Amino acid sequence: MFVLSLLALMLLQSAPATQSAPPSDQQEPPRGKVLFERHAEPVPEIPPASPALHTRSVPAEPTLPDTLRDSFVITAYDLDLHLNYATGEATIRARISVRNNSGEAAARIPLQVTSSMHWQSARVHTASGSSAIPYEEHALITDADHTGRVSEIWLTPSKPVAAGTSINLDLFYEGPLVENAARLLAVGAPESQASASDWDGFNSAAPASGVRGFGNVLWYPVVHRPLHLGKGNELFKAIAEERIAVQDIPFHLRLTVESPTPLTDAFFCGERQPLQPLAVTEKVSNEVDEKLPITGIPTLFTAEWRFAHIGQRAPSLFIASVKASTASSGLMEAYTERPETLASYNAAAVAVRPVMEAWLGARPLAKITLLDLGARSALPFQDGTLIVLPMHIEDQDRFAPVMTEWLTYAWFRAPETWMTSGLAAFMQRLWAERELRGEDKRIVTQKETALALAIYESTKPEGSGLTSSSSVVSERPPLTRCADPICYRTKGAAVFRMLRFLVGEDPLQQALQAFRDTNGTSQQFQSLLERTSGKDLGWFFDDWIYHDRGLPDLSIVGVSPRAVSGTTSSVIGSGAQTTSPDAQRARTRGGWLVAVEVQNDGEATAEVPVTLRGDQFSTTEPLRILPHSHATIRILVPAEPTELQVNDGTVPELRADTHIRTLQSKKQ
């Protein structure tokens, strides 16, 4: 992927403009033609607007303090979206609840949408009724949107919003939701790479098209301080924080699509709904082309979604204009005009199916859905079992690791992102370890880099006001609530690798298969895994999942090998480990007793494999080391050891995650 240049963005430039608005007790109707609109109760006829209530201006630089943007959070969404699919023009009515999360009253409320759209009207709803609310619209430079700026509204309620209280707003805005790569072009990205990354927009010529959410297209209202690609990791950190912020927010969306050609299904936050036609078009017969030209009025299609909790995601919306083709394996379906491409994806799915069945169960819980963007260079997007990508013929063997990750979402469900994404990365690595060789294996197994996780865990969390829907983040969130992919994916995969070492493959497989469709929590998974393994895992879940303690930092303090005869345990010592066959032979026939002392200077408890190797043997035993402590293990081996290894990469560490020492000892 293109590495964004650290170029400074130019300051916002603008020219002021004004327009009239309705009196305070009436709602200004949205400009343009609204073909479909829902209201909870009848809306009276609206008289002509009076001036001085709405000002649209573009100042030379934003004058609203970021502290005010940090003060407000959106706590509920209820959207009516009317879309012209042929042009991408959209009119949206947004009823939202906004809370002042600061410690003082606020006289203004800032909200933002993509700069391709403009605010049309605003009302406030109270127990005594509703009334229009004065506002200004300003352009604001920010890379949270693909256009590189947003249309920001400054609402001025009749009285300040008190600290800790909420206000219910009824807003209209409209404009085109089409492809725009301005933000990447502004920082020097080649046009081809910019369009491959920022491909969002509705396009009736493609088999499927749509828009992603925060960080790509602000098609729904948000409140956020400006973000810039040229400021290190600022944008991506904010996207991660936003995922945490919105996960418990309810979201209701009613979609109406105006299209002169047939449409099939729509997908909001990865959930499919059929598009129901409201009007029938007149078709002109054409015996040559199956795609008949259409005359008469456009057809209206509708769909509706209601989420009690949006989950850890940026709300996305996609529309398909073709019917789905189902793969012969039944594992996936594709919305594409080139169904022959589905065969290569299906071949990869069939190749990795056995490992999915062995670990996660005999049958998937859902199909993978592929939406074909048509454009070959577009970068893929995934939301659960929904994959949005340009479809083409894939090499089965090279594509299999990617398919392993995709199929994990079809086989396993959980409300906590670390479990699904972490397990998907773990399954991908598991398949690579067993099936790939050479460079292909190295590429896949190193994808979850220890370095990235070490940097993430070693960076002290700072208080931030960057999130638009939560209070200031003052500490790094636990694995159950983190939204940075380095946390929920990389660390999540490491957790499953450690669990495989701690409990063994069979107990872990049994727990995953029993848990996969329960919609359970991490606590429930812990209880289930303790039953299947017979082990107490409280210490592990507390340090690695329920809290973010950081990483262990191990070092070998000392190694003391000595020869022993095969007599009694008193000679060997009660602390010796004798679980391996090599150790059992050493106890009865004689061998070597090796004492290994390991120091942990990190903040998390670690249980790591300690391995002794010789010319004819390799013996591994587990050793648990508490934070800021040291522990000693005594291991029996049948012959003189030549090498000691503490940790093999199973447990991520702050520095090196593999410690090897060559041993030289004299027989006693």
pLDDT at 26 over 70: no
Q: In the predicted model, what is the mean pLDDT of residues 611-639?
A: 96
Neighbour count for residue 54 (Cβ, 10 Å): 23
Choose the weakest-confidence range: 329-343, 554-568, 606-620.
554-568
pLDDT at 567 over 50: yes
Q: State the pLDDT confidence band at 112, using cuts at 50, 70 and 90.
A: very high
Task: Decide if pLDDT at 512 tops 90.
Answer: yes
Segment (H or E) for 418 = helix 417-435
- Give mean pLDDT, residues 503-514: 98
- Could you read off the pLDDT of 277-297 as tens digits, one per residue? 986 655 544 444 444 444 555
d(CA 590, CA 607): 28
Q: Which two tokens stand for residue 150?
A: 């947003």
In the prediction, which pLDDT does 21 show?
36
- pLDDT tier at 61, thresholds 50, 70, 90: very low
pLDDT of residue 443: 57
DSSP 8-state assignment for residue 12: P
Given this model, what pLDDT does residue 14 score?
Answer: 31
CA 95 to CA 167: how far, in whole Å? 11
Give the mean model confidence (pLDDT) for residues 366-386: 94
Single-letter code of the amino acid located at 485: P
Please, are residues 321 and 207 in contact by the beta-carbon 8 Å criterion?
Answer: yes
Pairing type for strands 276-277 and 149-155 reads: unpaired
Is 603 within 8 Å of 653 (Cβ atoms)? no
Backbone φ, ψ for residue 220 (5° rounding): -120, 155
Comparing 10-24, 362-376, 558-572, the range with the smallest average pLDDT is: 10-24
* Distance from C-alpha of 456 to C-alpha of 115, rounded to nearest angstrom: 33
H/E element holding 8?
Answer: none
pLDDT value at 636 more than 70:
yes
Confidence class for position 99, pLDDT limits 50, 70, 90:
very high
- Position 12 scores a pLDDT of 28
Mean pLDDT value across residues 286-312: 72
Please, are residues 390 and 372 in contact by the beta-carbon 8 Å criterion? yes
Q: Per the structure block, which two tokens stand in for 650?
A: 């199973």
Domain at 554-662, CATH class = mainly beta
Residue 550: per-residue pLDDT = 94
CA–CA dist 653, 93 (Å, integer): 50
Average pLDDT over residues 485-507: 96
Residue (of 315, 107, 142, 160) closest to 224 by Cα position: 142
Confidence of residue 588 (pLDDT cuts 50, 70, 90): low
Those residues whose C-beta lies under 8 Å from the C-beta of residue 182, and which sit 6 or more positions away, are 146, 147, 148
Distance CA 113, CA 177 (A): 11
Q: pLDDT tier at 439 (50, 70, 90 boundaries)?
A: low
- Is the pLDDT at 51 greater than 50? The verdict is no
Task: Average the pLDDT over 286-310 and give the result.
Answer: 71
Mean pLDDT of the chain: 85
pTM summary value? 0.83
Token representation of residue 384: 């659960």
Triad 434, 607, 660: Cα angle to 5°:
70
Q: By mean pLDDT, which of 55-59, 390-394, 538-542 is the weakest?
A: 55-59
pLDDT of 197-220, one tens digit each?
999 999 999 999 999 999 999 999
d(CA 142, CA 99): 23
On whether the CB atoms of residues 553 and 655 are closer than 8 A, the answer is: yes
d(CA 120, CA 133): 12
Report residue 517 as tokens: 């469709």
DSSP single-letter state for residue 61? S
Highest mean pLDDT among 57-71, 164-178, 481-495: 164-178
**Closest-CA residue to 81 (of 216, 268, 245, 349):** 268
| Best CA proximity match to 436, nearest among 400, 466, 391 | 400
Are 336 and 207 a contacting pair, CB within 8 Å? yes
534 pLDDT higher than 70:
yes
The per-residue pLDDT for 322 is 96
Total Cβ atoms within 10 A of residue 5: 12
Q: Answer whether residue 625 shows pLDDT above 80.
A: yes
More confident residue, 372 or 287: 372
